[in-house]
Amino acid sequence: DREKEGGAMINIALPKGRLGEQVYTLLEKAGCPCPSIREENRRLVFENEEAGVRYFWVKPSDVGIYVERAAADIGVAGRDILLEYQPEVYELADLGVGRCRMCVAGRKGVRERPRQTLRVATKFPNIASRYYSALSRDIEIIKLHGSIELAPLLGLSDVIVDIVETGKTLLENGLELRETVVPISARLIANKVSYKFKHEEISRLCREVSALCRGEEEA
Ligand code: PRP
């Protein structure tokens, strides 16, 4: 098979969901097609031996772990995930897709009490802690796993640190954006050892995907 012939198989971790599907379209155009991936089923692994590529659908927040531990050679992860978990990987390219912002939001019209410990609900405790520590602001983190916008509505927290894309979720829940913590977009990442041993394949893919992204931005 291919690995014995010398051409290395590239293992790619894709974030399950809309972003992953968008990224797969880019990789397909970059010469890594795997048509079976578009068939609707519950499989998590898809392979195209001829193209030398194997895809995995991974929970978005786990992509860094798969790549760091070499279960995947490369992967695509939001900058939010990279900042939160800080995996030991190479960041090869900003794909420019999946653009959104990490923000602080709170209930519309409700002011924070400056001298009291701020209760912050978030899925991103490390990002939130670093942000407030740079501002020397005392906070208490309330770690949640989803529907973060509920927390200030129910008095569970004073503010949230969460992803804002269109702002619709904030608007429809009576919340307002207070501060932008950091802009987010999807990044192509690589395992450090794979990057060395599959250098040719990975850098070719990176070049082609980057060129496609630039093309889309200019269009
Ligand atoms: C994210 C985020 C917000 C929403 C923002 O949630 O946590 O809830 O998207 O998007 P908007 O500004 O366009 O309304 P996601 O869909 O990732 O789900 P989860 O946080 O509940 O897991």
Q: What pLDDT sits at residue 167?
A: 97
pLDDT digits (tens, 9 = 90+) for 70-129: 999 999 999 999 999 999 999 999 999 999 999 999 999 998 877 889 999 999 999 999
CA neighbor of 202 nearest in space, from 82, 28, 79, 73: 73
pLDDT digits (tens, 9 = 90+) for 54-83: 999 999 999 999 999 999 999 999 999 999
Q: What are phi and psi of 121, to 5 degrees?
A: -95, 135
Q: What pLDDT sits at residue 85?
A: 97
173 close to ligand 1 (CB < 6 Angstrom): no
Ligand 1 site-directed mutation target among 144, 164, 170, 181, most atoms within 8 Å of CB? 164
Give every CB contact of residue 137 below 8 A, 6+ residues apart in sequence.
Answer: 118
169 close to ligand 1 (CB < 6 Angstrom): yes
Ligand 1 site-directed mutation target among 122, 143, 153, 163, most atoms within 8 Å of CB? 163
82 close to ligand 1 (CB < 6 Angstrom): no
Q: What pLDDT sits at residue 131?
A: 98
Crossing angle for the helix pair 199-218 and 18-29, nearest 10 degrees? Answer: 110
Rounded distance, CA 11 to CA 27, Å? 12
Average per-residue pLDDT for the chain:
94
CA 211–ligand 1 middle distance (angstroms)? 29
Q: Which atom of ligand 1 is nearest to the CA of 162?
A: 7
